[in-house]
Amino acid sequence: MTELENASVETTPRRHFTLKKLLQGDSIIWTVFFLLCLISVVEVYSAGSTLSFKSGNYISPLIKQATFLTVGIVLCVIVHKIPCRIFKLVPILGWPLCVGLLVLTFFIGGDVNNSSRWIPLGAFSFQPSELAKGVVITAVALILGNSQREEGAHPKAFKQILYVTVPVCLLIFTENLSTAAILFAVVFAMMVVGRVPWKQLGKLVAAGVAIVSLTIALAFAVPKDGKLYDTVFHRFDTWVERITDMFSSDNDNGSGIPKGSKEEAAQFIRENPQVGRAYVAVASSNIVGRMPGNSVERDQLYQAYSDYIFAIIIEELGIEGGILVVLLYIILLFRAGRLASRCERNFPAFLCMGLATLLVFQACINMMVAVGLFPVTGQTLPLISRGGTATIINCVYFGMILSVSRYARRNKVEDAGKMEFARAK
């Protein structure tokens, strides 16, 4: 081999596998994602004492949650490599599928906590509403992206958005009011950001108030032993009870926390064990917390590893641990907003903001319930609460946001190159 050939071999750059090449996109969102996954593993393992007792294996909840998170992380990595323009196909393929699955849930859905939200799949179960939320938001982002004009969104966009949103929300509504309300609220926020005419939004609000009023009237009018009540309004008593308990005159300042003596507080906990134990967990944190694995209320609190995991986080990690979790979701929202501002095209910007708003809004509802600032809803803490398909789907949502961040970063690099070229000229 000649000296020239040796020099060419030595100067050829070697391609090494690096984590930076694997995890592209916004590093801050990646950090938020992995921190949420880490908190999930620790807190689900700590809060899952009842699951360990039922299974007879103390490490089983940890292995199961770690497995779902591993699958979710792999899917997140795969999805974030997909160009975000490909996500325009999601509504075309996903919307009919989600509607079909939601209808199927009415007939074969498993009954859990007096509601049929899951389709049993052997050892696992699938909640179609989790998938439907992302599909609807992607569809709304596509409609808003294609309808933008200088003076705002085209008026036709409003009807198109309702066509894809209302049927899904109605199918979710009867079994999961809070999920339907969160989805509709996120879509409404996207329409505000997407400059849908205020006149149309005002009519939507008025129609919403009228529909809610009519639903309440029908629920009281329909006989409770009738077939219509069993199929459509059977969850109404639960909704009324939760809202009434939240704003009862026996509670202090509408916080849900009982006022009075210790005996009255103990009576409240006996009558409302789920809510009462969550309040005790938060109150007993003593600011610094009991440290991971030392929760006392996890053995008494139903769904401590799911709906009320934020109360266990505060009990074990203290107020500062709760603040950390809140900050992670806030950072996600603000970072998504910054990424959206860098997008040259409308669809990626609306998609990024819509998915981030969905995750953060659901997290806020869960955390507010845990500390007594909102009626009980049954919403989980995204990516932290124990879950199966919900955890995996939330990881996919993060992958879609990170895909947009790759697109936004490329635009930023191209803009920087153009500026340097202009300076050189």
What torsion do the CA atoms of 352, 358, 361, 363 make, to the nearest 10 degrees? -100
Q: Residue 188 — pLDDT band, cuts 50, 70, 90?
A: very high
Determine which helix (DSSP H) or strand (DSSP E) holds 313, and give its type and residue range: helix 309-342
Strand order across the 110-112 sheet: 110-112, 115-121, 124-126
Q: Which residues pair with 124 in a beta bridge?
A: 121
Amino acid 274 reads: Q
Alpha-carbon distance of 160 to 244, in angstroms, equals 36
Query: Is 12 within the bounds of a domain?
Result: no
Task: Tokens for 236, please give them.
Answer: 């109404």
- Distances, alpha carbon 33 to alpha carbons 289, 323, 384, in Å: 24, 16, 10
Residues in the chain: 425
Q: Is the pLDDT of residue 95 over 90?
A: yes
Q: pLDDT tens digits, residue range 112-129? A: 555 556 676 666 677 888
Query: Is 10 within the bounds of a domain?
Result: no
Alpha-carbon distance of 141 to 161, in angstroms, equals 9
Residue 386 is classified by DSSP as -
Domain that holds residue 66: 24-80+90-420
Q: Is the pLDDT of residue 5 over 60?
A: no
End-to-end CA distance of the chain: 44
Q: What percent of the chain has pLDDT over 90?
A: 34
Q: Is the pLDDT of residue 4 over 50?
A: no
Q: Is the pLDDT of residue 133 over 90?
A: yes
Q: pLDDT tens digits, residue range 161-178? A: 999 999 999 888 877 788
Q: Is the pLDDT of residue 259 over 70?
A: no
Q: How many CA atoms lie within 13 A of 360 on its CB side?
A: 21
Query: Is 18 within the bounds of a domain?
Result: no
Query: Is 14 within the bounds of a domain?
Result: no
Confidence at residue 261, expressed as pLDDT on a 0 to 100 scale: 56
Query: Is 245 within the bounds of a domain?
Result: yes
Query: Is 8 within the bounds of a domain?
Result: no
CB of 103 closer than 8 Å to CB of 175: no
Strand runs labelled E in 63-165: 110-112, 115-121, 124-126, 148-149, 152-153
Angle (CA) 295 377 232, round 5°? 145
Alpha-carbon distance of 350 to 147, in angstroms, equals 12
Alpha-carbon distance of 238 to 187, in angstroms, equals 26
Task: State how many domains the chain has.
Answer: 1
Q: pLDDT tens digits, residue range 134-160? A: 999 999 999 999 998 888 888 899 999
Query: Is 298 within the bounds of a domain?
Result: yes
Q: Residue 220 — pLDDT band, cuts 50, 70, 90?
A: low
Confidence at residue 265, expressed as pLDDT on a 0 to 100 scale: 62
